[in-house]
Structure 1
């Protein structure tokens, strides 16, 4: 379900709806194994789908430039249709071009006669940052119209010059009558908060406009703002993030009247997140106040059509009835080993005053070692924990007791008493969890072990706990 090319990894995704399909352009991170091969630039590759379950791989469609080209690296951008012609705008970068402060970034342009797999670059249309902006951050052009017949607009991840770094970020804006000539306009958003806002994306949904961006100042997250107009003011909803650390650079696409956020779940090397990984998709649902809820696409859920009930056995004197804990203890129950590719669904009724509950994933037989999806009603949050957190040993500090969970994988999550559903999509080491079809948390874990249930200082009534395999 989390697509990855046979060779390489998925970086920033540029989704485009066209001709009855979703075309997912992406930055191909090839990570060559041979360090003597020399540096190679980054191209755009393409995969397409109609259901986010089955994919067609179209390979590289926008090759990287040669060693001295301004687009040695072809970085993030956008694709739009103007009649029968398609326009692709992207960021050009070359580490050998620039100043002592870093290499420049420029906006580049390519066109197609309608085939998303065939593009012609237009080098004469290339342009860099105007005066007043840092030339090293002039990237991720997103092109749109607010209505048919209106001028084209382009927004970019940019930074003002001579401003403290963490307040320099601005969503710059340009306008054009023809997608060739661009003039600087008033910025779309000046938050005075970030180094910059990567991968900006703008769309209208009903009476609301949405500005989506990814930031790496306060946290590595994709966030969004809402407005009643396409020009702002851009207000923060109560839940302004799409996911946690492990769902980055998400951009959106409308397909058959639905809105999807497409990003990537990074690989890890030890405790370090890497750039690029596996493609990941969330479907957005709009709440009455404009806030967005996020869940797994219904086609993905439907692909897991062989559900089986999980039989749980109590551990350490817990009640034989799973979920019936106690007001003064931790209680847990363990089930069988789950397949590495499956959909786990837990539905519970949570008793008032319950401190925490959740699932043990890839657990040992005694439940002592596991990845822990912990829902905390008293804090209204969902977190990922891990035991052991660090290496075990004779000293107390070795258990990482001052790190209560993976702090970059914490999500705000309303959890009043009553019924709640937790879905967990396991796809080898790649995973996505969704609570109540509203709150998403992507993560990585070791793909082997048992599933379990736990409750701390409280009780839940287990309505069902099922594991479903994919029949496709």
Structure 2
């Protein structure tokens, strides 16, 4: 049964959510089809799994404030990855290994697996000043709602000789008849993913370092995720350089389970935007590898905090490898169920600034095909959430000379500024853009998801103009399609 201390902590957290959730719904910055907690602060997705036919999403959560605090695990479920139902808080700090009379403690990030009829959460217990500071723990549920912490926690009570006290974010999966766990850590200036193996999720044997930085990939690895796809394996890492969190990357390679070693082949940035971190994947009953990430970044300006909440998740993305060890991210087909109010243009030229709409829907999906063979412009640009006077705007630029795609949010409103850049490669003489815009976010998928840029923006509600333009000549647009997207939240 759930301990009295844990139940009391859960009851208090759920009571606070009920108190706050109605007024937070009124925030003008709330998103329409992205996942958000009902109140407070969220960061990393945790325990992304399918259980009894339903998708389960857990997440780092502090329900008492819009700033980071002692970490809980929030919980929601969905049948389609689009419409989510909030459930009671799953984990709250309550035990000596995840709670204390100090500034930093909590149930830190982890993952979830289905073991028979049980849903098992694997997480890092963190308490500043404890020795060790971070340990790995489990909690189990037979109904998918109420979770009991294992009475003999922690299941891994000490960091390995190859690691350090920074030892967190366990990701667990099953291969053949054994459970495997990668945990992020660091040593000697290198980020590492260390590997454990178990037959019962409670007794873990250390295998060693399964992968580590080559010296340029960060000195601390957070939220490692190692999984098979096609005939290969992919490792996803959220790296730190000193105290700075940087863009997650992926490595395609080979996994030797007998030796416990992952061999790197190709290495690329996963998302080129500012607001993408700590992604986690699952394999669903249809065999799809699906990823979701935290759509925010540490130590940045978050205007929603003044309204009692902060943080959201990206849209869910299917991961596929089609050729050349390129991991593509494709928006889930289920998102198409939100489409309405279709509009299209075809075969038109852009030679200067062209206003597509003065009242473009700020919650929308847009697909654009640029015909590079018939374009002699040096730059083709899109202006989203643009004010009538042009002073407020978010620009997406295809720089055909420099072979870059740029998202410029220097004039995007009251949020964080910055310019994101990704490599631009034409495919069969065309460049395809698929843009998902929500109230305060933009996700751009280039060439069927070969590159992705994710950013939060906070423009004025009246900034709804949509423009396209070119510089240095004409741009040929073969296809322009757009849909308004209905809200996924009641």
TM-score category, normalised to shorter length? 0.7 to 0.9
Q: Distance in 1 between matches of 2:410 and 2:140?
A: 52
Answer yes or no: is 1:122 the counterpart of 2:150.
yes
The residue aligned with 1:419 is 430
Aligned residues between the structures: 426
Q: Following the alignment from structure 1 to structure 2, what is the Cα–Cα distance between the partners of residues 174 and 323?
A: 57
Residue 324 in structure 1 maps to residue 350 in structure 2: yes
Task: Decide whether aligned partners of structure 1 residues 216 and 310 sit closer, same or farther in structure 2, where only a CA change above 3 A counts.
Answer: farther
> Contact 2:266–2:325 (CA<8 Å) still a contact in 1?
no
Map 1:254-403 → 2, pairs under 5 A: 254-255=283-284, 256-266=286-296, 277-280=311-314, 281-309=316-344, 323-325=349-351, 331-334=352-355, 335-350=357-372, 351-386=374-409, 388=411
Shift of 1:53: 1.6
Q: CA–CA distance in 2 between the matches of 1:287 and 1:271?
A: 37
**CA positional deviation for 1:370:** 1.4
User: Tell me, what secondary structure is at the counterpart of 2:157?
Assistant: coil
Q: How does 1:451-470 map to 2 (within 5 A)?
A: 451-470=466-485
Structure 1: which 5+ residue stretches go unaligned? 312-320, 326-330, 392-404
CA distance 1:362–1:40, shift in 2 (3 Å): closer
Residue of structure 1 aligned with 2:229, choices 198, 205, 212: 205
2:117 is equivalent to residue 84 of structure 1:
yes
Q: Give the 3-state SS of the residue equivalent to 2:350 in structure 1.
A: coil
For 2:136 and 2:246, the matched residues in 1 are separated by 24
The residue number in structure 1 matching 2:83 is: 54
What runs of 5+ residues in structure 2 fail to find an aligned partner?
1-32, 100-104
Question: Match for 1:106 among 131, 135, 148?
Answer: 135
* Residue of structure 2 equivalent to 1:317: none
Q: With structure 1 as the length reference, what TM-score do the two structures score?
A: 0.81
Q: Distance in 2 between matches of 1:81 and 1:153?
A: 13
Query: Cα 1:265–1:390, aligned 2, differ >3 Å: closer, same or farther?
Result: closer
Q: Deviations over 1:248-276 (max 9, x none)?
A: 10011122222211111117987579996
Give distance in 2, aligned partners of 1:269 and 1:233: 33
CA contact (8 A) 2:371 2:429 kept: yes
C-alpha distance in structure 2 between counterparts of 1:390 and 1:205, whole Å? 40
Query: Residue by residue, what CA displacement relative to the aligned partner does 1:26-65 show, whole Å, maximum 9, x if unpaired?
Result: 11133526x9xxx962111111123222111113011222
**Alpha-carbon distance in 2 for matches of 1:82, 1:131:** 26
CA apart distance, 1:96: 4.8
1-structure distance, mates of 2:361, 2:350 = 27
In the TM superposition, residue 301 of structure 1 has moved relative to its aligned partner by 3.2
Match of 2:161 among 116, 132, 147: 132
Q: Is the 8 A contact 1:265 1:276 kept in 2?
A: no
Instruction: Summarize the Cα distance change of 1:260–1:358 in structure 2 as closer, same or farther, 3 Å threshold.
Output: farther
Aligned to 2:56: 23
Maintained 8 Å contact 2:277/2:293 = yes
1:180 aligns with 2:197: no
Conservation of the 8 A alpha-carbon contact between 1:284 and 1:294: yes
- Give deviations 1:129-188, integer Å, cap 9, x for gaps: 3453554311011122322x2x3222100122xx2xxx3321111222322222221210
Q: In the aligned structure 2, how far is the partner of 1:434 from the partner of 1:266?
A: 18
Among candidates 419, 440, 448, match of residue 437 of structure 1: 448
Root mean square deviation, CA, Å: 3.0
The one-character-per-residue Cα deviations of 1:95-125 (angstroms, maximum 9, x if unpaired) are 3535xxxx81111111223x22121101423
Q: Using the TM superposition, give the Cα deviation of residue 242 of structure 1 relative to its aligned residue in structure 2, in angstroms.
A: 3.7
With 344-353 and 430-439 compared, the bigger mean Cα shift is at 344-353
Q: Which residue of 1 aligns with 2:28?
A: none
How far residue 352 of structure 1 moved from its aligned partner, in angstroms, is: 5.0
Shift of 1:18: 1.8
Give the 3 Å change call, closer, same or farther, for CA 419–49 of structure 1 in structure 2: same
- Following the alignment from structure 2 to structure 1, what is the Cα–Cα distance between the partners of residues 484 and 292? 23
The TM-score with structure 2 as length reference comes to 0.79
